[in-house]
C-alpha cells in the first residue's frame, strides 16, 4: 500500500509520548489503594444498611406494641363506659333479665 | 506472561483475589496505558481513564465468565472508557474544530510529548478521524496488532477492520498532501 509506505517513511511508528518518572512503578499501589478504599466504603454502606434495617424492625415493633397497649386501654375504657351507663340508669342485671323474660 | 487459568482461579477465590488483581495491574498497565494515551493524548486524561478501567474491572470481576481472555476483556473496557471520554469531551467543547486546531500547540507545550511538529501534526490528523478509524489506526499502525486479535477485541469483522484502516491511512495521507 503506497499510502502506508508514505506514512511509514515520513513518521515511522515511534512513540512520541512520555510518562512522568516512576509512573508505572507507582500506579499499581495507587490503584490497589483505591480498591481498598472502595472495599472499606462498601463494608460501611453494608453495615449502615444493616443498622438501618435493624432500626426499622425495632421501631416498628415498638410502634406496634404501643398501638396494641393503647387498644387494650381503649377497650377496657369502653367496657367501663357501658357499665357506668347501666349504673347511672339505675338498672341492675336482674331487672334486665326480668324485662327480657316478660317480653316473651 | 501470566498464566490465565491460574489467575482466573485466584480471582474467584476471595482470599487470593486482591493479590491476583494486583498481578493483573502489573501485567497490563503499560499496554493499556499506551492504548488509552494514543486516543486521548494527554497524560492526565490517560491516567484517569486507566484508573477507571481497573476499578471497573475490579467491580465487574464476579461477572467475568472467562469466555474471552482477560487481556481482551481489559482492552475492551479501556477502549470503551476512552471512547466515552472522547464523546463527553466532544459534547462539552462548543467548537470541536477549534479544539483540534489548537491540538498541535497543546502537544508541543506538553511536557510529556517528545515529538517534533510533524509528529504533532500526525496526532492532529489522527484526532480528526472518526472514533472507530482512530482506534483501528492506532492499534494497527503503532501497536502492530493482528487483525484477528483486533476483531476479537472490538467485535468487528476482519474485513470491516481492514476497510477502516485503509480509510484512515487514506485520510491521513490526504491531510498531509493538503497541508504540505
- State the pLDDT confidence band at A1, using cuts at 50, 70 and 90: low
A5 lies in a domain?
A: no
- Please list, residue by residue across A50-88, b when 16 or more beta carbons sit within 10 angstroms of its beta carbon and e when fewer do: eeeeeeeeeeeeeeeeeeeeeeeeeeeeeeeeeeeeeee
Where is pLDDT greater, at A99 or A50?
A50
Q: Rounded mean pLDDT of chain B? A: 91
Compute the average pLDDT of residues B129-143.
Answer: 94
Q: How far is B39 from chain A (nearest CA, A)?
A: 12
Does some domain include residue A14? no
Residues of A in contact with B120 (CB under 8 A): 16
B54: which chain A residues are within 8 Å (Cβ-Cβ)? 31
B124 CB-near residues (< 8 Å, 6+ apart): B100, B103, B104, B107
Q: Is residue A11 part of a domain?
A: no
- Contacts of B15-23 with CB under 8 Å at 24 or more apart are B17/B61, B18/A32, B18/A35, B21/A32, B21/A35, B21/B58, B21/B61, B22/A28, B22/A32
pLDDT at site B99? 62
C-alpha grid cell for residue B41? 493524548
Region of poorest pLDDT, from A16-20, B62-66, B73-77, B99-103: B99-103
More confident residue, B159 or A79: B159
Kindly report the CATH number that applies to the domain delimited by B1-92.
1.10.1740.10
Structural domains in chain A (count): 1
Among B38-42, B50-54, B106-110, the minimum mean pLDDT is found in B106-110
- Provide the pLDDT for residue B91: 79
User: Which range of residues forms the domain containing residue A93?
Assistant: 23-103
Mean pLDDT, residues A2-22 taken together: 90
B70-93: average pLDDT: 91
Query: For position A72, what pLDDT does the model report?
Result: 79
User: What's the pTM value of the predicted model, to 2 decimals?
Assistant: 0.77
SS3 A81: helix
- In chain B, the residue whose alpha carbon lies closest to the alpha carbon of A8 is B141
Residue A29 lies in a domain: yes
Confidence of residue B20 (pLDDT cuts 50, 70, 90): very high
Domain with CATH 1.10.1740.10 in chain B: 1-92
Complex ipTM value: 0.85
Half-sphere exposure of B57 (CA within 13 A, CB side): 33
pLDDT, tens digit, 9 for 90 and up, residues B21-41: 999 999 999 999 999 999 999
The CATH number for B129-180, chosen from 1.10.3260.10, 3.30.160.60, 1.10.1490.10, 1.10.10.10, is 1.10.10.10
Does the pLDDT value for residue B88 go beyond 70?
yes
Q: What pLDDT is recorded for position A103?
A: 63
* Whole-number pLDDT of residue B156: 94
Q: Which residues contact B99 (CB under 8 A, 6 or more apart)?
A: B89, B93
Q: Is A24 within 8 Å of B29 when comparing Cβ atoms?
A: yes
The DSSP call for residue B3 is: -
Closest residue in B to A17 (Cα) is B113
Contacts of B66 (CB under 8 A, 6+ apart): B8
- Given a cut of 80, whether residue A54 has pLDDT beyond it is yes
Confidence band of A62 (pLDDT split at 50, 70, 90): confident
Is there a domain that residue A6 lies in? no
Substitution target from B15, B21, B25 for chain A, most A beta carbons within 10 A: B25
For residue B78, pLDDT beyond 90? yes
- CB-based contact B55 A38, cutoff 8 Å: yes
Note whether residue A48 is domain-resident. yes
Position A31 in a domain: yes
Residues 15-44 of A with CB under 8 A from B: 15-20, 23-24, 27-28, 30-32, 34-35, 38
In this predicted structure, the answer to whether residue A104 has a pLDDT above a threshold of 60 is no
Q: Mind listing the pLDDT tens digit for each residue in A14-39? A: 899 999 999 999 999 999 999 999 88
A9, part of any domain: no
pLDDT at res. B18: 93
Amino acid at each position: 500500500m503506497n499510502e502506508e509506505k508514505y506514512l511509514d517513511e515520513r513518521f515511522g511508528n515511534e512513540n512520541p509520548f512520555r510518562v512522568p518518572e516512576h509512573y508505572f512503578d507507582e500506579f499499581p499501589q495507587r490503584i490497589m489503594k483505591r480498591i481498598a478504599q472502595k472495599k472499606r466504603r462498601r463494608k460501611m454502606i453494608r453495615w449502615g444498611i444493616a443498622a438501618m434495617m435493624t432500626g426499622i424492625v425495632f421501631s416498628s415493633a415498638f410502634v406496634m406494641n404501643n398501638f396494641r397497649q393503647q387498644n387494650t386501654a381503649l377497650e377496657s375504657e369502653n367496657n367501663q363506659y357501658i357499665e357506668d351507663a347501666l349504673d347511672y340508669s339505675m338498672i341492675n342485671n336482674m331487672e334486665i333479665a326480668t324485662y327480657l323474660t316478660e317480653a316473651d | 506472561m501470566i498464566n490465565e487459568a491460574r489467575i482466573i482461579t485466584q480471582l474467584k477465590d476471595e482470599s487470593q483475589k486482591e493479590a491476583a488483581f494486583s498481578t493483573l495491574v502489573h501485567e497490563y498497565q503499560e499496554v493499556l496505558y499506551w492504548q488509552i494515551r494514543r486516543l486521548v493524548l494527554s497524560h492526565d486524561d490517560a491516567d484517569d481513564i486507566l484508573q477507571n478501567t481497573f476499578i471497573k474491572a475490579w467491580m465487574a470481576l464476579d461477572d467475568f465468565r472467562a469466555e474471552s481472555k482477560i487481556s481482551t476483556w481489559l482492552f475492551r473496557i479501556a477502549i470503551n472508557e476512552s471512547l466515552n471520554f472522547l464523546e463527553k469531551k466532544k459534547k462539552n467543547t462548543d467548537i470541536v474544530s477549534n479544539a483540534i486546531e489548537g491540538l498541535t500547540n497543546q502537544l508541543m507545550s506538553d511536557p510529556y510529548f517528545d515529538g517534533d511538529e510533524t509528529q504533532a501534526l500526525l496526532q492532529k490528523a489522527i484526532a480528526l478521524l472518526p472514533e472507530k478509524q482512530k482506534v483501528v489506526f492506532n492499534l494497527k499502525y503503532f501497536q502492530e496488532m493482528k487483525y484477528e486479535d483486533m476483531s476479537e477485541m472490538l467485535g468487528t469483522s476482519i474485513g470491516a477492520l481492514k476497510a477502516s484502516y485503509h480509510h484512515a491511512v487514506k485520510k491521513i495521507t490526504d491531510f498531509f498532501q493538503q497541508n504540505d
